[in-house]
Chain A
């Protein structure tokens, strides 16, 4: 009886150790390779650069609707909020003044366009 109980203890310990090993391998050593992702998963600096791209294009096109459609790929927020986040990031991370001014212009235009003040 005692031997049988010890066996179960070993089995449970081995199972737990195996689960731990599996989790460690699957989360840290060889995590799932992701592809076909959506833009909302992009890292903050890439998002900010995308906002900057949109702002650069807006400077020429002067079409807030088109700029909003470009920013809409991030999905979960309003275009003006996405642009405002980009502006915050740009200011906090040493973007050039000219780039910040472009994004600021875009934010202002989008706020006016969407009616969000």
Chain B
């Protein structure tokens, strides 16, 4: 009797194993109704890029926010800035990257309350049912964006107002506009790497600009790098390690000021010993 029970139990377990192997590995459910959050990273980039292009055309920030929310980025602004970097680094057009940055800037300004809150209503509703029920989707840019799946709402983000004027286009910094060198400081901090060249790029509102290309040249060499690759320090921050006894020239876009004659400074520590310091350049749009 005991042997029978064991045999049946083993058969049951073997059956469960076979069933799981089939349903998880051999023939998992075919995905047909996925959400943007499940897209592969490069497709998410394209999705963001399209959102930014649509925003550039309509100026409808609530709609752009609702669409970005679908991608599930923990920090949409950082995600947009990082994507702009990737776009520039991969040689995509500056215009498209500029739109992505512009959307990040608009979101940031909206967060900081610098821009008027668009007076629209949008609701993103999710639920745990996988079956799609057809619903009216995005509505007029003048009124709202409504993305709904089913009635059971677990997440809503309403911005409610009485009137629904079309949001005005948020001012967008033109990355190609010339920059002025507003600061050139010698940094003597023994905690920083020797010869660290720090570049901070600001727009006319003193907001840091990501995705600005910086060309550093020296006798026999030249290198290009971009702001925003270290968002933990600042969206408009970039750095470069200079070699002692080499003179560098730093320039941004055409027409911008050029910082020339840059060499690694020698600093004195409190104990009297010397060490190599760094330089901090600040560029700003007038």
A residues bordering B, Cβ < 8 Å? 7, 10-27, 31-32, 34-39, 41-46, 48-50, 52-54, 56-61, 70, 73, 89-90, 92-99
Contacts and interface: CB of A to CB of B under 8 A. Distances in A.
Given A37-B40, A41-B31, A26 B22 contact: yes
A26 B58 contact: no
B1 to A, nearest CB: 10
Enumerate the 5 nearest inter-chain pairs by beta-carbon distance, A residue then B residue, closest first: A22-B19, A18-B15, A26-B23, A94-B136, A57-B53
Contact of B22 (A15, A23, A90): A23
Nearest to B49: A70
Contact of B54 (A27, A56, A97): A56
Contacts of B136: 93-95
Contacts of A20: 15, 19
Contacts of B140: 96-99
Given A11-B8, A42-B34, A56-B57, 19 more contacts: A14-B11, A14-B15, A15-B11, A15-B15, A18-B13, A18-B17, A21-B19, A22-B16, A36-B38, A36-B40, A39-B39, A45-B147, A52-B54, A53-B53, A59-B57, A61-B57, A73-B43, A93-B135, A97-B140
A68 to B, nearest CB: 13
26 contacts: A7-B4, A18-B13, A18-B19, A19-B16, A21-B16, A25-B16, A26-B20, A32-B24, A32-B28, A32-B29, A34-B34, A36-B41, A37-B34, A38-B40, A41-B31, A42-B36, A46-B35, A46-B70, A49-B137, A52-B54, A53-B54, A53-B67, A54-B54, A56-B54, A94-B136, A99-B141
A35 B33 CA distance: 12
A83 to B, nearest CB: 13
Given A36-B40, A93-B134, A60 B19 contact: no
Contacts, number: 191
B47 interface: yes
Interface of B: 4, 7-9, 11-24, 28-29, 31-36, 38-41, 43, 46-47, 49-51, 53-54, 56-58, 67, 70, 132, 134-143, 147
Contacts of A39: 39, 43, 46-47
Among the interface residues A46, A60, A99, which one has the most CB atoms of the partner chain B within 10 A?
Answer: A46
Contact of A41 (B32, B53, B54): B32
A18 B219 CA distance: 74
B138 A42 contact: no
Among the interface residues B23, B49, B132, which one has the most CB atoms of the partner chain A within 10 A?
Answer: B23
A19 B32 CA distance: 25
A96 B50 contact: no
Given A21-B15, A42-B36, A61 B22 contact: no
A62 B280 CA distance: 43
B46 A10 contact: no
B35 A42 contact: yes
